Amino acid sequence: MNIFKKVDNIISFVFLVVAVIYGYLALQMPYFGRGIIGAAFYPKILAIVMIALCLIFFGINRHPDPEAKTVSLKGIQPQNVIKQVAVVAVIAAYACALFYFGFKIPTFTFFLALMLLYGEKKWSKLIFVPLVTTILFDVVFRIIFKLPFHELSIF
């Protein structure tokens, strides 16, 4: 059986790769002489532990398990996957936009886009909720708590 058919095996493999890179980078850290427990000491231990745990996990998880979740294209609705990716993309885009386009326009657009993605269809709500929320966020975070956001001069 291909071990990568199981979701948890794929995740463990990713952790294994991360641990190998993590351990390699720990070996590159400066060392200040013999007998001193330096900055690399603890990361090296963690890298070894993580690699060992992932390998043991592969060892015991290679056999078919009727309850295990497997990666199968059957049953995955592409529309939902695209929407989920879009939600992450919208959040990332909002985070970037905050530092280039100011607070108000990105915030309003962010709420509008997310509500559309979540399936809101009424235009009255699509305008009202983002508008009220943007004003609330602006008053609380930018005006009262004075969070430093880049602000376009026209707004």
Instruction: Pick one of 3, 5, 8, 70: the residue that binds another protein (CB under 8 A).
Output: 8
Environment class of residue 20 by beta-carbon count within 10 Å: exposed (0-12), middle (13-18) or buried (19+)? middle
Instruction: Pick one of 17, 25, 131, 135: the residue that binds another protein (CB under 8 A).
Output: 25
**Helix/strand/coil for 70:** strand
Interface with another protein, residue 11, by CB under 8 A: yes
Interface with another protein, residue 119, by CB under 8 A: yes
Cα gap 150→102, rounded to integer Å? 5
Sign of the four-CA dihedral 31, 34, 39, 41: positive
CA–centroid distance for 149 within its chain: 22
Report the interface residues with another protein, using CB under 8 A.
7-8, 10-12, 15, 18-19, 22, 25-26, 29-30, 32, 35, 37-39, 41-43, 46-47, 49-50, 53-54, 56-57, 60-61, 69, 80, 83-84, 86-88, 91-92, 94-95, 98-99, 107, 110-111, 114-115, 117-120, 125, 129-130, 133, 137, 140-141, 144-145, 147-148
